[in-house]
Copies of this chain bind each other. A is one copy, B any other.
Amino acid sequence: MNKILVIGGVAAGTTAASQAKKTDPSADVKIIQLENVVSYGACGMPYVFEGIVEKFENLIVRSIKEFDEKYGIKIIQNTEAIKINPYKKIVDAKNILTGKESSFIYDKLIIATGARAVKPPIKGIDGKNIFLLRTFSDGLKLKQDIENKKSCVLIGAGLVGLEMAEAFKKKGLAVTIVEMTDRILPKMINEKFAKIINQHLVENGIVLKLGEKVQEIADFKGKKIVLTNNGKISGDFVLVGVGVRPNSEIAQAAGIKLGVSGAIRVDQHLRTNFKDIFAAGDCAVAINYITGKEYYLPLGTTANKQGRIAGQNSAGKNYMFRGIAGSAITKAFELYIGKTGLSVEEAIREGFDPVEKEIEGVTRASYHPEKKPIWINLIVDKRSRRVLGVQVVGSEFVKAKIDEIALALLLEAKIEDIVDFDWCYVPPTSPVWDPLGIAALQTSKTLYR
């Protein structure tokens, strides 16, 4: 009987366990999980704070009981894996509530330990009413602790900062975002797009402090005081969202090789340098299918896909994960913001000769009263005419454009393919010339010259 052990029970871990069991129903599949809950949609947490989703429990896809009774997968909850011995094939673990230690032998191991929110080395960071938001437990604690609070300071204008700014604002809190760099979402969008979103945030009542480095977080009369190089910002609590780091220490200590950003290096079959150890999700690297190089972008889609294949392969299959394009999307009030592929800066770094062309289009026929603006920035390699990436901002249909280009990137499409494919049209869904088609046409014109 194949003993398949999974460390981690969120997206990648539970998907891996389920797929392993499905592939080999005779296997003994166990998950070691740090929390007392598994299989939840962490990306949904902002919507609980906003009130769109009633409670955190609604984010749980499958319960521990369900895994046990319905799928025959045992969850070892409240338990931290503390050591992997890849030669003896044993994982030592400790119950975080009782302190009791135990060991688990395995034939195949899947590491799906995820990533953790970075706690920056700021003076006062460990004070009260300062929060991180990553796990289910983080979410529950934050919700409880901020009840009746009226104002907050969000450190970091990334995905967590923007999504939570909207949620808190819609719940009536005063919200200030403080960001060290001079613009929001620097990895996702260019400066011009960032300005569109800045304005939108300000119009929605968010106080935005860009280019301010937090130096200390102090307490004064029950308030948190965030001191920056430019002044003081006060609020009832502070939420820190400055990025994540892979939980790869346990792997590294076992001699498992790490790759870019300190994430666990895996091959296309999701194997580490030990043939019986797989890794998947936020703790692992992925291949960028445009550059063919290692990339670290911990997102739920990748975790699910990698988990699926790691699970199948641990049970004897040999499927391949073809990688990611760097697709990401977020929402700030009425605007969706998406990216896939390379930015111009990334493209130059990868040796391409890129050109970018930004257009402002509309989402529906010009005479349709519900039309909205949409901004598309396409990046194309001048020499090969290959599409390299796109950034899109708008209040609807943004995902569609990102997905079309993500597919185009996998298929190594050229710019003319985006002009020439036969998109469909009805007035409430686009103009007769779809904005992505217009962007492609405009970009291709810069190449003809």
Chain A residues near B (Cβ < 8 Å): 11, 41, 43-44, 47, 52-53, 58-59, 61, 289, 299-302, 304-305, 321-331, 336, 338, 340, 365-369, 397-400, 402-404, 406-411, 413, 417-418, 420-430, 432-434
Contacts and interface: CB of A to CB of B under 8 A. Distances in A.
A301 B399 contact: no
A407 B406 contact: no
Contact of A424 (B399, B426, B432, B433): B399
Given A47-B427, A338-B424, A403 B329 contact: no
A421 B407 contact: yes
Q: Oligomeric state, in number of copies?
A: 2
12 contacts: A43-B427, A44-B368, A47-B367, A47-B427, A59-B367, A299-B425, A300-B432, A325-B422, A397-B399, A399-B400, A406-B421, A407-B423
Given A301-B424, A321-B420, 14 more contacts: A41-B365, A41-B366, A41-B427, A43-B425, A300-B432, A301-B432, A304-B433, A324-B422, A326-B422, A338-B424, A403-B404, A403-B421, A411-B411, A411-B417
A399 B328 contact: no
Nearest to A403: B423
B53 A330 contact: no
Contacts of A413: 407, 411
B301 A428 contact: no
Given A404-B403, A404-B404, A422-B301, A44 B367 contact: yes
A246 B322 CA distance: 46
Nearest to A398: B429
Contacts of A408: 407, 411
A426 B365 contact: no
A107 to B, nearest CB: 24
Given A399-B400, A411-B417, A425 B301 contact: yes
A322 B421 CA distance: 8
Contacts of A402: 423-424
